[in-house]
Amino acid sequence: MPENMRAYVVVATIALIMLFFVRRSAGFFISATDFRRWVLLWFVVTTVGFFMPNFWLMAATNATVVLIALSQERIKPALFLLLLAALPMIGVDIPGFGIINYIFTINYQLMLSLVILLPLMLFTRRQDGHKGVSLEDVLLLTYLLLIFLLNLRETTITDSMRRSFLFFLTGVLPFFVLSRYVATPTAIRRVILAFLIPVFIYAPIGVFEMVKYWSLYASAVANWDLSISAYLPRAGLLRAVGPAVPHGPIVFGSLFVVAAGFMIALSRGRVAAERFWFGKVTIWSGLLSSLSRGPWVAAAVVYLLYWMTGPDKVTRAVRYGLPVLVLALMLLVTPFGAKIWGLLPFIGNLADETVSYREQVWNVSTDVIAKYPLFGNVQWRDLPEMQVLVQGQGIIDIVNTYVGQALEYGLVGLALFVSFFFVVLRRLRRAYRRAGLDRAEEAHTARALFATMAGLLVMIATVSSVGLIPWLYWSVAGLCVAQTRMLQREPVTEKTSTRARTHARRRVVGGA
């Protein structure tokens, strides 16, 4: 049996088992019909990815499938998050047909952006009722303009437009659509659930990869005739990558950082009492399988910030922290637990080479930033002083998104980048703190999104913005803004509805 077929059998088997357990909890938020439709869509897209002989056939087939599914989905951005990590992010150049070298490099995720998000922005009436341009919009669009102008220093206008367009598809479009087209508490719960369902599948896949030393999704990518390396060992185990191949286990771990916050957002009422433990254990196991300390720290930040921003801080810390402590102590008495202890940040003694490399990156990069402080240097990778950072694969991995921003776009670019997220978090925090008791559930969701966004911002200090990572933080930022706008609007109550109807009657009488 070919390797891609054997890998698919494992993925499909794990998916069916997990979906059997997930379907009951999902029933609190969506109908059984919608759940079956989402599952079928995910299976079709995944199956096509494993068995199509090349990228272009895969992309064309899956684009057609997604377009058909969109016609049956009420909250269309949900399908974007449902399918975002379904297949690896492998790029192929779109040829320029003799006019230019190539148009741009497309991958599966960009295909989703073009098929799902772009039509929403261009042709669909937005749902949030918000008019005008917000401060977040201004900061993001200014950042986009800066990228375009700074790229002109070292490249052609065509290449600068290409890079700006890719950022538009990767960052601006997910933020714009999710911040405006997810406009009700029901919609935001639906979108969050759409992201969580496939992540519950990826978690046991990650554990399988770690234990069996077999990267399942690398088989699908190899079927597209592309050469990749997906085997990164640590402490005698394989660092799982799942569908995050070929960008590495930290990118895979970032899925579970977001999932940890999203699971908190849905953990109220009956869902908190039934099967919430199953979701937590699943997410923690996937996070563990990446063997990546950055996502571990980020997930801890998510839980800590959620506890610290709500009532009964001590009670919550004991309720949720004590089981984690007990589990950690139980693991310590096993050989596997000893390996995990050695990988823990600050106290572990394994993977010291990565720590020394990060220190070297910081020292060299700060010297380069000092030479180009305001607007950076787009060609920083070619500078002689940066060559000491070239790794065995022939690349320079900055392993810090903020340093990468300062290197490429200077402190001005870094300031715009950081200011955008600061404004998003500040407005969300103010909104949920002002929410009354009658909006406790919306405030709970807002706190979970706040913690998720903050956790991602901590994590990207340990990794470059590669693979799915920028898609995640721009999308979560969009949901944060959507939740802020919901809390800023007056809740729809019987009193509000009566007042609105009275006002409408007066306008009709006045017009008559």
Higher pLDDT, 66 or 227: 66
* First vs last C-alpha separation in the chain: 77
* Confidence band, pLDDT 50/70/90 cuts, at residue 273: very low
Question: Rounded to whole angstroms, how far apart are CA atoms 29 and 271?
Answer: 10
- The tokens for 506 are 């007066």
Alpha helix positions (H), 105-248: 108-112, 118-123, 135-151, 157-167, 173-181, 185-212, 216-222
Least confident of 61-70, 349-358, 456-465: 349-358
pLDDT for residue 349 is more than 60 = no
Query: At CA 242, angle to CA 283 and CA 462, rounded to 5?
Result: 70
Over the stretch 493-509, which tens digit does the pLDDT of each residue have? 444 444 444 444 444 33
pLDDT for residue 511 is more than 50 = no
Over the stretch 183-218, which tens digit does the pLDDT of each residue have? 899 999 999 999 999 999 999 999 999 988 888 888
Q: Which residue is associated with the tokens 């139980």? A: 330
Rg (CA), the chain: 23
Question: Rounded to whole angstroms, how far apart are CA atoms 239 and 292?
Answer: 8
pLDDT for residue 311 is more than 80 = no
Alpha-carbon distances, residue 41 vs 4, 72, 80, 123, 461 (angstroms): 20, 11, 11, 24, 35
Predicted confidence at residue 128, as pLDDT, reads 64
Question: What global pTM score does this model have?
Answer: 0.87
3-state helix, strand, coil in the chain (%, to 5): 70, 5, 25
Neighbours of 277 (CB within 10 A): 11
Query: In this structure, which amino acid lies at residue 22?
Result: V
- The tokens for 165 are 């367009």
Question: Rounded to whole angstroms, how far apart are CA atoms 106 and 255?
Answer: 22
Predicted confidence at residue 449, as pLDDT, reads 96
pLDDT for residue 37 is more than 80 = yes
For residue 390, give the DSSP letter: -
* Confidence band, pLDDT 50/70/90 cuts, at residue 490: low
Q: CA quadruple 241, 244, 245, 248: dihedral positive or negative?
A: negative
Q: CA quadruple 292, 295, 301, 303: dihedral positive or negative?
A: negative
**Mean predicted lDDT score pLDDT of the chain:** 83
Q: Is 446 helix (H, G, I), strand (E, B) or coil?
A: helix
Overall residue count recorded for the chain in this entry: 512
Q: Which residue is associated with the tokens 């433990």? A: 277
Predicted confidence at residue 346, as pLDDT, reads 47
Q: Is 102 helix (H, G, I), strand (E, B) or coil?
A: strand
Over the stretch 138-148, which tens digit does the pLDDT of each residue have? 999 999 999 88
Classify residue 219 as exposed, middle or buried by CB count within 10 Å of its CB (0-12, 13-18, 19+): buried
Predicted confidence at residue 134, as pLDDT, reads 87
pLDDT for residue 367 is more than 50 = yes
Question: Rounded to whole angstroms, how far apart are CA atoms 91 and 79?
Answer: 21
Least confident of 79-83, 98-102, 270-274, 384-388: 270-274
Mean pLDDT within 368-395: 83
- The tokens for 278 are 């199953």
* Confidence band, pLDDT 50/70/90 cuts, at residue 343: low
Query: In this structure, which amino acid lies at residue 315?
Result: T
Question: Rounded to whole angstroms, how far apart are CA atoms 378 and 376?
Answer: 7
* Confidence band, pLDDT 50/70/90 cuts, at residue 315: low
Over the stretch 133-171, which tens digit does the pLDDT of each residue have? 889 999 999 999 998 888 887 777 887 888 889 999 999
Higher pLDDT, 327 or 472: 472
Contact 53, 12 (CB under 8 A): no
Higher pLDDT, 320 or 409: 409
* Confidence band, pLDDT 50/70/90 cuts, at residue 99: low
Kind of pairing, strands 233-234 and 237-238?
antiparallel
Classify residue 127 as exposed, middle or buried by CB count within 10 Å of its CB (0-12, 13-18, 19+): middle
* Confidence band, pLDDT 50/70/90 cuts, at residue 512: very low
Question: Rounded to whole angstroms, how far apart are CA atoms 163 and 146?
Answer: 12
pLDDT for residue 10 is more than 90 = yes
* Confidence band, pLDDT 50/70/90 cuts, at residue 410: very high
Over the stretch 389-401, which tens digit does the pLDDT of each residue have? 887 666 787 888 9
Contact 156, 455 (CB under 8 A): no
Query: At CA 337, angle to CA 336 and CA 341, rounded to 5?
Result: 125
Predicted confidence at residue 278, as pLDDT, reads 80
* Confidence band, pLDDT 50/70/90 cuts, at residue 347: very low
